[in-house]
Structure formats: C-alpha cells, structure tokens
Amino acid sequence: MVGNNLPASIVGPLLAIESSCDETAVAILAPDGRIMAEHVLSQFADHAPFGGVVPEIAARAHLSHLPALVSHALAEAGLTTADLGAVAATTGPGLIGGLLVGAGFGKGLALAAGRPFIAVNHLEGHALTARLPGLVPGGVAFPYLLLLLSGGHCQCVAVDGVGRYRRLGGTIDDAVGEAFDKVAKLLGLPLPGGPGIERLAALGDAKAFPFPRPLAGRAGCDFSFSGLKTAVAQAVGALPVGAIPHATAADIAASFQAAVVDVLVDRAGQALKMLPQATALVVAGGVAANQAIRAALHGLAARQRIALVAPPLRYCGDNAVMIGWAALERLHAGLAQDGHDQRPQPRWPLTALSGSPENVSGI
Ligand code: KG4
Ligand code: ZN
C-alpha cells in the first residue's frame, strides 16, 4: 500500500537514518538541505572477527546504537523530536534486518512526533549526493552520468531527474568494492579492504603484475571483476609458502588497483558515449573515496570536456546525509509520499523508482 503525496516543503528539519549495511548513521538537515548534525558509526570491529558483514550482528548493532545516535544528533542541532518536520530512513536495498531496525525506528519517531515518514532508496541517496548544496554552484544539472561504485553495487546510470534513472550497464559478477575487499582478504588486510589496498598500492609497482582488464574495449558499459580477482588469487597462490613479503603485497595491490582504474576509465568512457548529453560525470559510493580512481576519472572527464563531480570523502561511503538529501529532493520534486505503510525491501533497483507522480505507485 502506498501513502498520500506529501507537500513539497516541510515545516521543520528532517531527521534521516541509514542502516542498510554495517554503518549506523543519523543526520539532521534543514528544509533547504543545510546539514545541522551528522553521525556515522561504523561496525567494522563487530564484524572483523568473521571476515565479513554478519547480517544478524549488523541488525543488533543498529538496534543498540540508533537511540543514542539520534539523541546526540538532536542535541547537537538543538532540537527535540517535536521540532522535526519529517523523518526519513533507508528502506532498501540492503540487509533486511538493518532495514527493519532503521525503518521501524524512523517510523516510530515520526508517528510519535505526528510527522510524515519518507522511505528512501539507498541507491538514490548515492545518486543524488552530488547535488548536495555547496558542492557544485547551482547543483549538478540533469542529465548526468552516475558511476556508482560501492561494495554491493557497480553500475553506470543515466540520471535524467529526481527519480528518473536508466541503467546503462553494470557488473555481470562482482561489484568493484567487493573485488577490493576480496583482494584485501587475499593479502591479509582488514575489511573494508579498499582503504588498505589504496595505502599499500601507493608503495608498490603498478606494472609488476600484468593483471587482466576485463571487458575493456568492449561495446556497452558492463563490468566484470571476478576474473581479475581470480588472477590476483592465482598470483598470490604462486608465491612461496609463508607470509607475503610487504613489497610483493604492495606490488600486487598497485597492479590490481591499476587494472581497476583502467577498467573503470574504459567503461565510464563507453557510458559517456551512451549519454552524450551528460552535463557531468558523477562518481559515488564507497569506492569513489579512492584517490587513484578519482584522479583517473578526472582525466577522463577533462578529455571529454565535462566536469567530474566527486562528493567529499565522508559522503562517498554510507551516510545519512545522502538519505536526508534524497528525501528533500523527492519532496521538492513533488514525489515524496508518506511511507508509514512502506515495507523495507532487500532488493529495490533504482530503475524501479518513478519520477512521474502518476507512476509513483509503481515503487
Ligand atoms: O558505499 P559503501 O560505503 O557501502 C555499500 O553500499 O557497499 O561502499 C563500501 C565499499 C567497500 O567495498 C570498501 O572496500 C570500498 O567501498 N572502499 C574503497 C575505498 N574506501 C572504501 N575502495 C577502494 N578505495 C578506497 N579508498
Ligand atoms: Zn552504499
């Protein structure tokens, strides 16, 4: 069941919750998007002993951290729940336990305060982050090419407007962040693997290992990373038994990262050909924090004479500011609905969102 359309503006600040994976995040945004408070609590330590995110542990951690995080955010902004204009939370895609906790908490708060609840798609949060006030004067104009690079997602999306997304291509196997995490594991680095690989790569020789560049040069803008990951596993397997020497690990990290960079530049270049009217190349998701990737995409965008828009590092990974901002964008576009009845969905592709009010019931 879908709720009623909400008015395009709210009377007070919006509280946003993100809990779709292993970050518990809360933010408060003024109706114009100004950030009044933001907190992100990573659960790395909780999951580290298991070598990956354990959904049940994540859900319990969200449950135990959310109340204090919300109280902190409200205190920091000098507000009480009675001052809020609306509450938003991620309702998908993601791990169902965490989504249930965040959405349930958000709905409860909204109900108690007598305010609307806005259900936000996590990927739409990443997609619209580039339009956060203050990043690009006047905001990035539609349409733009979104390169969504995270632990669970890897896709090229034409962003035609708020709620109007076309998937131009995506990974046919692993997400790029997943590849970073798997290679980090092979090298004995802690999760999430991306930052550790990036630091190690800076010390290595990117030409030491001739890893493949899957799908590079092919038409379209799909990605594939499983062959690259396997090539790294084989290179590690061929090393003498025992701990990997630091210099060798650095060479593997640098060679792997160089392969990823080449693939991303090639695929993004193809995607730009598919969206020649793009005003900008926008990179989002946790992997967008990688400086080598940012620099290479910057070069691509410069060659194509369009801007590269990469959000500040703290908004690349999962956070609640992007959830709050997506809710405000939906409100301003007249697309937000009261989501008290909306159930969390582990799978919820961007293309299932609708930008036309008549079609919103398709969500
Ligand atoms: O967007 P995000 O925080 O969560 C998902 O929605 O997946 O992305 C997390 C992913 C992880 O796979 C992590 O290893 C990767 O982003 N990541 C990086 C870097 N920082 C985080 N990958 C490469 N380089 C980085 N500096
Ligand atoms: Zn994410």
Question: What are 71-83's pLDDT values in tens digits?
Answer: 999 999 999 999 9
- Could you tell me the two tokens for 163? 């709620």
Taking a C-beta distance cutoff of 8 angstroms, is the pair 288, 268 a contact? no
- Ligand 1 center–CA 113 separation, angstroms: 35
User: How would residue 362 be classed by pLDDT, with cut points 50, 70 and 90?
Assistant: very low
* Tens digits of residue pLDDT in 156-202: 999 999 999 999 999 999 999 999 999 999 999 998 899 999 999 99
- What is the torsion angle, in degrees rounded to the nearest 10, for the CA atoms of residue 25, residue 47, residue 315 and residue 295? 180
Taking a C-beta distance cutoff of 8 angstroms, is the pair 62, 94 a contact? no
pLDDT recorded at residue 237: 96
Element (H, E) at 72: helix 55-77
- Ligand 2 center–CA 123 separation, angstroms: 7
- Residue bearing the CA closest to ligand 1, atom 2: 286
CA distance 260 to 294: 12
What share of the chain has pLDDT > 70, as a percent? 96
CA distance 293 to 42: 23
Q: Which ligand is nearest to the CA of 121?
A: 2
Q: Which ligand is nearest to the CA of 152?
A: 1
Q: Which residues pair with 156 in a beta bridge?
A: 147, 169
* Tens digits of residue pLDDT in 86-99: 999 999 999 999 99
Report whether the peptide linkage leading into residue 344 is cis, meaning its omega lies within 30 degrees of zero. no
- Ligand 2 center–CA 208 separation, angstroms: 32
pLDDT recorded at residue 356: 43
- The mean pLDDT of 109-135, rounded to a whole number, is 96
- Residue bearing the CA closest to ligand 1, atom 8: 286
- Ligand 1 center–CA 317 separation, angstroms: 6
CA distance 116 to 88: 8
User: How would residue 45 be classed by pLDDT, with cut points 50, 70 and 90?
Assistant: confident
Query: Which of 150, 257, 350 best tests ligand 1's pocket when mutated (most atoms within 8 Å of CB)?
Result: 150
Residue 3 has pLDDT above 70, yes or no: no
CB-based pocket (< 6 A), ligand 1: 21, 150-152, 177, 180-181, 192-195, 198, 285-287, 289-290, 317-318
- Residue bearing the CA closest to ligand 1, atom 22: 194
CA distance 353 to 360: 7
- Ligand 1 center–CA 290 separation, angstroms: 9
